[in-house]
Every structure is written in C-alpha cells, then in structure tokens.
Amino acid sequence: MGNKVLLVTLSTFFILSSILMYIGKKTMGISDTRNDTFNSLQAQYISNSALNITLNKLRFNKNLRGEFGNIPLMDGKYSVIIKGNDTVTIKVVAEFLNKKSISSVTTIWDNITIPPIKAGMSISSSNLNLKLNGNILISGYDKNPDGTPGNAPTVNGITVENYSDSIRVISEIPNNVKPNITGLGAPPSIGVSQNPANIYELINQYIQSADIILQSGTYSTGTVLGTPENPKITYIAGNANFAGNASGAGIMVVYGDMSCSGNFTYQGLVIVYGNTAISASASGTSAIYGSMIIIGPSVNVSATGSAVINYSSKAIQNITQKLKTSKFFVSNWKDW
C-alpha cells in the first residue's frame, strides 16, 4: 500500500513538473516574441525620427551631404547617408538592441524664382535722388562676366517707376555721364518699369533660403560670398560696405544701405531694400554683372570712379539654374 501511494505521489509530481515546465517555456516564448516586437518597433521609430531630423537639417543646410554614423537616439543609434544634387536621397539605418530598421526618402529641391529683369539697375522709390559722376557705366547691353558680348535682348540701363521720374533723372545726369548709361534707346537709357507685385514675396523667399547670413559691417579682401561655380544666397541684415577684393556670386539681399569700393565684384542679382531711406553707392573699380534692384520710400544712388553695373543674362541664367530654395518635395518614403 505504501509503495502504491509513493508511486502515485511521484507520478503526480512529475506530471505537475512537466506541466509547469511547459507553461514556463510557453511564457518565455511569449515574452521573447513581445520583446522582439517591441525592439523592432523601437528600431523603426528611431529610423523614422532620424529621417525627420535629417530632413530638418537639410532645410537649413542645402549642401549637407555625406555619411554620418553611430549617432545616439532614444537608447539606440543610427547611421545616415545623404547623397545627390538637385535630387537628394537620404538613407537611415537604425539599431535598437538586436533589431535593425531602414528608412529612406527622396527629396527634390524647388528652384529659386527670379523676377523679370528689365534693366541693369531698377529703382523703385517715391523719392529718388540719383548722383552719377566719373566713368561710371550702367548698361542694359547683355554682357558676359568675362567682358564678351552676350546674345540676350538689350534692356534699359536704368528703370524707374514712372515717366515723371524718368524725365527728372535724365535732366539731372551730367552731360559727360549720359553716354555711359546705355541700353534700349539713345543714351542715357532710362526706362519706366515697376517691380512685379510679388517682389516682397520673392525677397522673403531669398531670405528664408539664405546660405550666408551677415550683420552690418565692412567686408573686405578675403570675403567670398559664393562663386559662379557654387553661387550662394546671401542676406545682410543691416548696412554693408564692400571694400578691397571682396567678391561674390548668386543673390545678395541687403536690408539697409550698401556701398561698394575698391575692386568688389559680384555676379548675379543684388537687391538693396528697406522701410526707411536707402543709400546705394559704388566707387573705385567695383563691378556688378547681372542686375541690381533698389527699393525704398527714399533712395539715394551715387556712383563715381570706374564702377560698372552691367546687365548679364549669363550671370542671371547661372543663378536660375544653380540656386535652390529652402523648400523641397519629399517622395518615395520607404521603411523596411
């Protein structure tokens, strides 16, 4: 009898132990599955978050390219590859514990918008004071930055907002300077043309897309604000004085007064504007190839020496093709 009881007891013990071991294995399997699922979701969350972080950085730095690895994020890490020109691809590989997740996206930059160019220099003001002396040249004849003739139609040397301003400006230009204001019609080439209604929207687009942001100051030899091969959008929040051998290419917006001296050269579009009196002056052998727009309730323009402001369709075409806004379109978002 005692042996039977012992056998039953042992049998019951082994059965219960087997059941408990089976339940334990099942519980561990469920737990492992849940952990794997959580780790996979966390890795995917890291990769998507990293992609959004990279897109935001790209908006503020249009030239951001390369490979960047082992960046910590949310207790995991990620690596990112950014490559391309107008069409940029971003690939992120994220890791969380034992799981990986990959995300990628394609971005297409929006082209910059250039206003219609009607003159070598366009002035928009209700109170205009123009003082031109020396060997100043303001020309609407198309000329390449290397000095060779272009093949685009001729525009005015200078445009103002209304006919009465054009008559007054012509009467105020010294006789020895009139032959140096060339372009459409007989010299001095003074035409009438208003800036487009969306000019301030375009200016804001340039400011928001600026590659270089500067404050008031004097910028001399060594200052390079873009090159023809790699033009930049420059925004100067205040008065700017360019001296020495400073140079640039692209679009430059000056919210304040601008003066050029020495051998300052620029290829592209220069916009000087403000809500108060604006002064633009050029002297020495400074040269702008492209076009210049000056906007303000009161504008004073003076030019002396051998300064050149020359319409150049090639300089304008170059920035139209190469400059991009801070906006881009996102397509082909993939996760795996």
* Weakly modelled stretches of the chain, pLDDT under 50: 3-10, 13, 16, 20
The span from the CA of 189 to the CA of 168, in Å, is 13
Looking at the chain, the number of H-run helices and the number of E-run strands are 4, 21
* Residues 290/316, Cβ–Cβ less than 8 Å: yes
- Supply the pLDDT for residue 181: 95
Instruction: Please give the model's pTM, rounded to 2 decimal places.
Output: 0.77
pLDDT at 3: 47
Where are the chain's structural domains?
2-111, 119-322
* 217 Rama sector, left if φ>0, alpha if ψ -120 to 50, beta otherwise: left
Residue 331, pLDDT score: 82
pLDDT of residue 10: 43
**Would you call 135 helix, strand, or coil by DSSP?**
coil
**In this predicted structure, what is the pLDDT of residue 160?**
94
**Which amino acid does the sequence have at 249?**
A
What are the residues facing 131 on neighbouring strands? 302
Tens-place pLDDT, residues 123-175: 998 888 888 887 889 999 999 999 899 999 999 999 999 999 999 889 989 99
Distances (CA, A) of 89 to 112, 154, 156, 184: 20, 41, 43, 46
pLDDT at 21: 55
Predicted local confidence at residue 20, as pLDDT = 47
What b/e readout covers 309-327, taking b as 16+ CB neighbours within 10 angstroms? bbbbbbbbebbeebbbbbe
Encoded amino acid at 187, one letter: P
